[in-house]
Amino acid sequence: MNKNYSNNSDALSHGASPEFSNKGLPASGEYARQAGGAYVPAPQGRGQSGPTRHSPSRGTPSRLPASHASPARAEHAGGRQAGHGPQREPQRGPARGRPGSAPRRRPLHLRPARPPRGRTKVEHQAPTSRSMHAGPAIPPPAPDTVRIIPLGGVEEVGRNMTAVEFGNDIFILDCGFQFSEDETPGIDYILPNTGYLEERRDKIRGLIISHGHLDHIGGIPYILDRIGNPTIYTRKLTGKMIQKRQEEFAQTIPVTIREVEKDEVIKLGAATIRFFGVTHTVPDSMGIIIETPYGDVVFTGDIKLNHENGEPSDEEKREFGIFKERKVLALLMDSTNVWQPGFSIPESTVYRTLEKIIEESKGRLIIAMFASHLERLIRVVHFAEQYGKKIVIDGRSMRTNIEIAREIGLIKYKDDTVIAVENMGQYPKERIIILATGAQGDEFASLARIGNKSHKYIRLEPTDTIVLSSSVIPGNERAVQKLKDNLSRQGAHIITYHASDVHASGHGNREEAAWIHKQIRPKFFIPVHGYHYMLRVHGDLAVEMGVQPQNVCIPDNSSVVEIIAGEKIAKHAIKAPSELRVVEGQTVSELSDVLMRDRKALGQEGFCVVVATVDRRTGKLHKSPDIISRGFVYLRDNKELMDQTRLIIRKSVETSMRNPRAADLDVARDDLAEAVSRFLLQRTMKRPIVIPVIVSI
């Protein structure tokens, strides 16, 4: 049944458009023209890099200038003049145009991001003309208004960040990032847009972190200095994980972390902040209560229930019992798995399954899971000691998290329980448990190297058992299938969550969410953490649990939601700045739609550079045009197509240069790109990026 949820935009529209302008971005044609400026012959000499082009008039290879070099191997088309020798197949070289014979790397849009090595210095790119466009100003909230702005995490799974503002105070909940998607090739991470906070940094009273997963803490090194380096409030383990991550970055201003406990009460600005414990896959997870004059704003963070056969544990009942005497104004709750019926598999079931596998293992055991599933890692180490086995930790992030847990006392084990991977041969195989990263098929992770036989120390044997203790993240299906195929070819036995209870989600299913709603009993409800469909399903559930339909607000990223005098909820027609911010290498910048469009086109269609040399006195071509292709067609097998393309180039250029003294080279380049693109589309049904270069001599 469709519900008429609150979307009272008109009440707060102030006559403004909800979207920001895209003015200031170059059109795709302008982008291509800028990329393909005038060709200037480079001097010949040793040590040059870049693709060669075949010069039809001279029959000898010359160098394309570095500014026009393809990032990797280019294919070349020769001319038709007599006397040409056989065309050599271009050499396969490494990425970025360096000379050599290394195998070609995977396309940029298919490569997972490598983690940065060493200490990274974050650089912030200057704002673009698009972001500097003066949109409608967002007025400050009225004195009787509580403003809530999800800056990320409500149109995707990841980059969770929410701002709560009332009076003269702003409180920030979480600060995560999201990994790159198919729509953002070449990007390492996607960040929340914090433009709204940057303009109001003097009102920020603190950054409160619910738990230590990267989709909740990953954005801190890239964002914190932009919003004035507020104090971070979180529990002990999460604080240590943040500190450890900060050591990878060369920050000039130290991060201030204030440890809190789940039953602690603190004062920030004019507000009182309370905390309560929640169940998730990482210890020290907590929910947050912000007291306002009209009731509590409750934020659960990522959450599930510890239960047995649908009956929540006594600990869960005790934690949520605090809400019996509290007046909850608004609930912001995790929606990731609410669309799944029933209860999720309790983590205790996973522990029993893993214990049985460890106890009965007759050969070497490899357990692969997320490094962030720290609770499960701790249990595996405990079971290993219990049954007299040795642990090998093969993965930097996993090793780091276990060291942090040991440092703060969450896990205790003997020094000889964990051994180095190179010392495995000193022990019987049935006494070895390898904790490995890479269950999602990441080609750089430990398990992938084991699968493709490139691991320095580990070779699989038919007696080995591999446990994939994680579900498959959407989009990773093919990579995981390839991983399982590679492991199976070596004879290992594989156990997955499909066949055994070796994994449980850290997000509660529908019945768990329903139980939580009954305990908290909010007046208003704002679902967070998930795609829009997940939020919509959670909104339906809230109505079933007693929330009035007009009191449910389904937000988008950067929506400005206001609760007025504790009686009415409405969504502003004006949004906070919402352009995607991304991390590429060490640089934080706003995402360019044109750049992403061209990257996707390059990955799908390739590009074609056409070089025409024109006599400036006559306007005629000085020689046959050069064509350089990458990822479009293999030129040696398409000589007829290239010959016809040269005729199109000649006709277009000589038409544009009919009057050489009055000719506009920019217009001529645009016309050339249009003519070649149209012809190639007609002949091949492909749309390569055409980069026109006209040289006047």
- 383 and 407 in a single domain? The answer is yes
Cβ partners under 8 Å of residue 403, min gap 6: none
| Domain final position from 542, 560, 585 | 585
CA 598-599-602 angle, to 5 degrees, is 85
- Looking at per-residue pLDDT, the higher value among 475 and 33 belongs to 475
213 and 306 share one domain: yes
CATH number, residue 435 = 3.40.50.10710
Residues 548 and 578 in one domain: yes
The whole-angstrom separation of Cα 182 and Cα 266 is 42
**pLDDT grade, residue 127 (50/70/90)?**
low
- Cβ neighbours of residue 113 closer than 8 Å, sequence gap 6 or more: 179, 180, 187, 188, 189
- Residue with more model confidence, 387 or 25: 387
Contacts of 187 (CB under 8 A, 6+ apart): 113, 180, 582, 583, 584, 591
Predicted local distance difference test score (pLDDT) of residue 5? 56
The span from the CA of 37 to the CA of 613, in Å, is 13
Residue 31 lies in a domain: no
Categorize the per-residue pLDDT at 69 as very low, low, confident or very high, splitting at 50, 70 and 90.
very low
- Per-residue model confidence (pLDDT) at position 128: 59
Which of 519, 552, 585 represents a domain boundary (last residue)?
Answer: 585
270 and 392 in a single domain? The answer is: no
pLDDT higher than threshold 70 for residue 301 = yes
User: In angstroms, rounded to a whole number, what is the distance separating the alpha carbons of residues 663 and 657?
Assistant: 6
Beta-carbon count within 10 A of 280 CB: 26
Q: What is the CATH number of the domain that holds 514?
A: 3.60.15.10
Instruction: Give the structural domain span for 480.
Output: 348-495
Confidence check: pLDDT of 112 > 70: no
Amino acid in position 452: N
Tell me which of 138-152, 258-272, 424-438, 651-665 is least confident.
Answer: 651-665
Residue 259 belongs to a domain? yes
Residue type, 198: E
Do 169 and 307 belong to one domain?
yes
Q: Residue length, the chain?
A: 697
- Do 330 and 376 belong together in one domain? no
Closest CA to 194 of 159, 169, 168: 159
> What is the pLDDT, as a whole number, of residue 187?
83
Residue 305 shares a structural domain with residue 355: no
Give the separation between CA 349 and CA 310, rounded to whole angstroms.
13
Domain membership of residue 673 (yes or no) is: yes
Distances, alpha carbon 309 to alpha carbons 187, 338, 349, 554, in Å: 43, 18, 10, 31
Specify whether 531 is located in the same domain as 608: no
Is residue 3 domain-resident?
no
Q: Are residues 123 and 181 in the same domain?
A: yes
Query: What whole-number distance in Å separates Cα of residue 146 and Cα of residue 163?
Result: 11
Q: Are residues 390 and 475 in the same domain?
A: yes
Render pLDDT for 582-599 as a digit per residue (tens, 0 to 9). Answer: 888 878 888 877 888 888
Do the bridges between strand 161-166 and strand 145-152 make them parallel or antiparallel, or are there none, so unpaired?
antiparallel
Together in a domain, 481 and 525: no
User: Is the model's pLDDT at 110 over the cut of 50?
Assistant: no
pLDDT number for residue 118: 57
Mean pLDDT throughout 31-57? 36
pLDDT at position 185 is 81
Asked if residue 352 and residue 335 are part of one domain, the reply reads no
* Tokens standing for residue 318: 């005790």
CA angle, residues 89, 94, 100, in degrees to nearest 5: 70
| Average per-residue pLDDT for the chain | 81
Long-range contacts made by residues 154-158, C-beta under 8 angstroms, separation at least 24?
Answer: 154/527, 154/528, 154/529, 154/530, 154/532, 154/535, 154/555, 154/556, 154/557, 154/559, 155/531, 155/532, 155/556, 155/557, 156/531, 157/215, 157/336, 157/529, 157/530, 157/531, 158/190, 158/215
- Span 621-652, pLDDT tens digits: 988 999 998 888 888 888 899 999 999 999 99
In this structure, what CATH number is given to the domain that contains residue 668? 3.10.20.580
Instruction: Dump pLDDT digits (tens) for 206-255.
Output: 999 999 999 999 999 999 999 999 999 999 999 999 998 888 887 667 89
**Closest CA relative to residue 389, chosen from 412, 407, 406, 414:** 414
Q: Which two tokens stand for residue 59?
A: 């029959």
Supply angle C-alpha 401, 404, 408, rounded to 5.
145
In 3D, which of 541, 563, 537, 560 has the Cα closest to residue 551?
Answer: 563
Q: Over 50: is that where the pLDDT of 470 sits?
A: yes
Position 129 scores a pLDDT of 52
Our count of domains for the chain comes to 3
State what percent of residues in the chain have pLDDT above 70.
80
d(CA 298, CA 332) in angstroms, rounded, equals 6
Give the C-alpha separation, 468 to 513, whole Å: 27
Whether 484 is in a domain gets the answer: yes
Is pLDDT above 70 for 440? yes
pLDDT for the residue numbered 57: 39
Q: Please say if the pLDDT value at position 441 is more than 90.
A: no
Q: Which amino acid is it at 36?
A: G
Residue with the bigger pLDDT between 498 and 90: it is: 498
Q: Sort 246 into a burial class: Cβ within 10 Å, 0-12 / 13-18 / 19+.
A: middle
Q: What pLDDT, on a 0 to 100 scale, did the predictor assign at position 12?
A: 42
The stretch 396-404 carries a mean pLDDT of 89
**pLDDT, position 195:** 92
In this predicted structure, the answer to whether residue 359 has a pLDDT above a threshold of 60 is yes
Q: What share of the chain is helix, strand, coil (3-state, %, to 5)?
A: 30, 20, 50
Q: For residue 212, which of 371, 335, 408, 346 has the smallest C-alpha distance?
A: 371
Find where tokens 């005729």 sit. 647
The two three-digit tokens of residue 122, written as one number: 């974050």
Q: pTM for the full model?
A: 0.76
Average the pLDDT over 421-449 and give the result.
Answer: 89
Strands 61-63 and 52-54: antiparallel
- Over residues 304-346, the pLDDT tens digits come to 999 998 999 999 999 999 999 999 999 999 999 999 999 999 9
- Please enumerate in sequence order all residues whose Cβ is within 8 A of that of 572, keeping only pairs 6 or more positions apart, or say none: 9, 12, 13, 18, 138, 559, 560, 561, 562
Boundary (domain end) residue, out of 530, 562, 585:
585
Say if 134 falls within a structural domain.
no
In a domain? residue 19: no
Least confident window among 45-54, 277-286, 362-371, 607-616:
45-54
- Tell whether 21 is covered by a domain: no
Q: What value does the mean pLDDT take over residues 131-147?
A: 79
What is the tens place of the pLDDT at every residue in 537-595?
Answer: 999 999 999 999 999 999 999 999 999 999 999 998 889 998 889 888 878 888 877 88
Q: What is the mean pLDDT of residues 355-364?
A: 92
Cβ 611 vs Cβ 39: under 8 Å:
yes
Q: What pLDDT does 207 receive?
A: 97
